[in-house]
Amino acid sequence: MNLLHSLQLTAAEELISVAGLVLLLVAAWSGDRASRAISIATVGVLVAAAAIALPALCGSLAGADVSAFGGQYKADAFSAFAKLLIYVGAAVTLIVAPAFFDRFRAMRAEFPILVLFAALGMGIMVSAGDLLTLYIGLELNSLAAYVLAAFLRTDDRSAEAGLKYFVLGSLASGILLYGISLTYGFSGTTSFDAIRVAYAHGMSIGATFGMVLILVGLGFKISAAPFHMWTPDVYEGAPTPVTTFFATAPKVAALGLLMRISLEAFGAQPDAWRQVIVAASLLSIVVGALGAIGQSNIKRLMAYSSINNVGFMLIGLAAGTKAGASAMLVYLAIYVAMSVAGFVAILMLRDADGNQVETIADLGGLSRTRPGLAAALAMVMFSLAGIPPLFGFWGKFVVFQAAVQANLLALASIGIAASVIGAFYYLKVVKVLYFDEPTDKVQGNSDLAHSILLVVFSVVLSPLGYLLTGWLNTLASSAASALFHVV
């Protein structure tokens, strides 16, 4: 009966696993000519998996009733919230990828399958209740991600991005695994709940080292400074649909995993990990803001923007409260919408030959030649900067509010001041779009799917997005509560 219950709770992962294996056979038999059909089928699988996960979120499920395989897997409201964002990021990637790769005749049947197995690993990551489950999910995601980064074999930048991602990702995995081994050695268990009990009365120096190494390993995965060095090169070199994927789904999974292990496994000793999170937060905000100022490539600018936004999200985690966790999830959901809109707009920046236009200077005067596209891109930039009345402002507001409520006034003040610095490079892009002389570089026609996605997510980022705040805050609060449910 326990096995049957566990299998029921892991239905989403089972569906993705079986579908991935079936589609892999289809790809082997049919070849690349079936790539579009496989992509459509994969999106359908992701929608079905989201439908399976949704009831746990709506029902605010938490505790032993949603714990599978002896606590190694948790199908609670938090994992459901994270999975919905992961599946959205993966589905958008599959929708925008064919038009991009077809120009290079590089669309292969393996692409949607790699995305699907990466989504499987990410689902396991956010549902992990054990250090071993954590590592299995992380490696399943990482192995697919390394191949995706180097997927465009005709582009040297893509091969370079894949190699850098592999080398630094492997280093991060090694650091994480060493931290896991130390944590197991000093706690005598790999279960998050049991680690919390073991550390309830304090942590030894060795246990603290293990915790720090785990946080450092996850810091690489979320591209938080000072572990961010791979991000600009990988974002620039990877195919743009893959960059869209990296900026959304894996970011959600890694941040979700960081939240779960901090608030569950090490939740009894928040003061032990808070200083690490605060340091990473401040460094990410400053490095992301200053690093983006001199960038001339818009994908590299978005990479530094990602580092900067991770810093703001970590402010919510540093609070160590239910309100802080809820605020972080709200920010994360809005960030996914901003990233999708931003990279879809970048995909639509093509010259007359269909080649990607990535240099910011080449976007001069875009408002006069492509006013709709320029307006959407400007909206993304203003939203990333947190300028009201766009929806991106709400994400920053809730994390600063949570920090102030947790008596982290200095951290909130520094974050607010640094967001003013960050606004400079976003406004620089808007200035190029609206005030520079037209370069007429962007002339390519937009794909219908890209246009629909851009309109939908632009509406979410507009002031109309505030209509979603009540619903989003309720779901985020429900998900955050699951992390504070002590078994």
pLDDT per position in the chain (487 positions), as tens? 488 888 888 999 999 999 999 999 999 998 888 889 999 999 999 999 999 999 988 877 777 788 888 889 998 999 999 999 999 999 999 999 988 888 877 788 899 999 999 999 999 999 999 999 999 999 999 999 999 999 888 888 888 889 999 998 899 999 999 999 999 999 999 999 999 999 988 888 999 999 999 999 999 999 998 888 889 999 998 899 999 999 999 999 999 999 999 999 898 888 889 999 999 999 999 999 888 888 889 999 999 999 999 999 999 999 989 999 999 999 999 999 999 999 999 999 888 777 888 888 888 888 888 888 999 999 999 999 888 899 999 999 999 999 999 999 999 998 888 888 878 888 889 999 998 888 888 886 778 888 899 999 999 999 998 999 999 999 999 999 988 865 5
Whole-number Cα distances in Å, 440 to 2, 18, 352, 429, 437: 64, 48, 9, 16, 9
Nearest CA-CA partner of 89 in 58, 123, 60: 123
Report how far residue 124's alpha carbon sits from residue 91's, in angstroms, rounded to the nearest whole number.
18
Residue 386 makes CB contacts below 8 A (sequence gap 6+) with 392, 393, 395, 396, 397, 419, 423
Tokens of 184: 């197991």
Could you count the other beta carbons within 10 Å of the beta carbon of residue 178? 16
> Cα–Cα distance between 48 and 101 in angstroms, integer?
26
Q: Can you tell me whether residue 153 is helix, strand or coil?
A: coil
Residue 130: DSSP 8-state: B
Containing 268, the helix (H) or strand (E) segment is: none
Secondary structure of residue 365 in the 3-state scheme? coil
The model's pTM is: 0.94
Written as six digits, the tokens of 15 are 């569906």
Q: Determine how many CB atoms are found less than 10 A away from the CB of residue 275.
A: 11
pLDDT given for residue 65 in this prediction: 80
Task: Locate the domains of the chain by residue range.
Answer: 2-483
Q: Would you say the C-alpha torsion 286, 296, 302, 262 has a positive or negative sign?
A: negative
Please give the distance of CA 107 from its chain centroid, rounded to a whole number. 24
Distance CA 288, CA 282 (A): 10
Tell me which amino acid residue 239 is: P
Cα end-to-end distance, the chain, whole Å: 21
Q: Kindly give, in sequence order, each residue whose CB lies less than 8 Å from that of residue 225, ignoring residues fewer than 6 positions away.
A: 280, 283, 284, 286, 287, 288, 307, 311
| SS3 assignment for 391-447 | CHHHHHHHHHHHHHHCCCHHHHHHHHHHHHHHHHHHHHHHHHHHHCCCCCCCCCCCC
DSSP helix/strand/coil, 85: helix
